[in-house]
Amino acid sequence: MKESDNDQVSDAPRPIEPSSAKGGPAASEQALLTLLEEYRKDRVWRRWFRLGVGVVVIGTATAIVFLSGLEGEAVPETFTAVVEVSGVIGIDGDSSASTLEAQFEKAFAAPGTQGVIALINSPGGSPVQSGQLHRALRRLRDRYAQIPLYAVITDIGASGGYYVAVAAERIFVDPASIVGSIGVVINGFGFVGSLEKLGVERRVLTAGEHKAMLDPFSPSRPQEQGYLQVMLDTIHQQFIRAVKTGRGGRLSEDPEVFSGRVWTGEHAISIGLADGFGSAREVARDVVGAPEIVDFSAQPNWKLKLLDQLELRVMSVLKASTSGSDLRLY
């Protein structure tokens, strides 16, 4: 029996219907379109972000120019110059002798300066730095003999802080100021007993008999303590000579003055360590006769700091935006 053409059996594979293909070309195309749309949105966002950064940069530059103009405002024709001596006097930062000397130099040399005030709020510090600044102020007084130098002690003018103050012609204090401490100190700790209790043996080698003289883990020796005391006494006498030279006959004969004690401002006046009460403004107005004050103290360079911060911020933003210029997958 002959089969009909419709009933013929064929071994050829039947084509797959597009609608039955899972994950076929249509799905891939849709995923690609979605990815491109997200990328397009990301590029638009970055474009606006860069525009915002540009606005910030322009605005900051404008502010710097404007504030620089404010800084250029004319100073008074006559004024009292002020230089702050604050914190621990040392070799670093704004409290070193060289830095402070440069500020006082500018204060004395500025046209219109009628007097200079050393505004002191210091517990002391390095005897070397204090002595160097003291001598520098004495030299400036000699060079600018027509311009008086006064010291105003606020909260504390002790030890090295007072060493600096006595370079001035007159010293003014508040009744509650802490003044004095004309002495020298060296201190430390000894851990010899602690090492023995812990069973620790200290081993140290030196070239020079007294090289390890201040070693806190070795027993102190009377001979070495004597050496240190001579050194302290020598520096103390240097301090005393500076005070006597600066204060002259105003000093009391009381030996306690040089004992390292501190006094209130009120008591300091009675023993000749200070001359009277007064703040910087009071001295400028009533003693110098030039009430306008111009500060010659070291000021932080806010423009450089602002530009540094702005540069860091812009670089980070540009790095974040430009690094995404290619297609990224997270």
Residue-range domain boundaries for the chain: 33-71+304-322, 79-291
Separation CA 243–CA 260 (nearest Å): 13
**pLDDT tens by residue, 59-101:** 665 555 455 544 445 678 999 999 999 999 998 778 899 999 9
**What is the domain class of 79-291 according to CATH?**
alpha beta
In the DSSP assignment, the letter for residue 218 is: S
Separation CA 282–CA 287 (nearest Å): 8
Angle between helices 127-143 and 222-247 (to 10 degrees): 20
**pLDDT tens by residue, 211-236:** 878 788 887 888 888 988 999 999 99
Residue 94 Ramachandran class (φ > 0 left, ψ -120 to 50 alpha, else beta): alpha
Quote the pTM value.
Answer: 0.68
**pLDDT tens by residue, 98-153:** 999 999 999 999 999 999 999 999 999 999 999 999 999 999 999 999 999 999 99
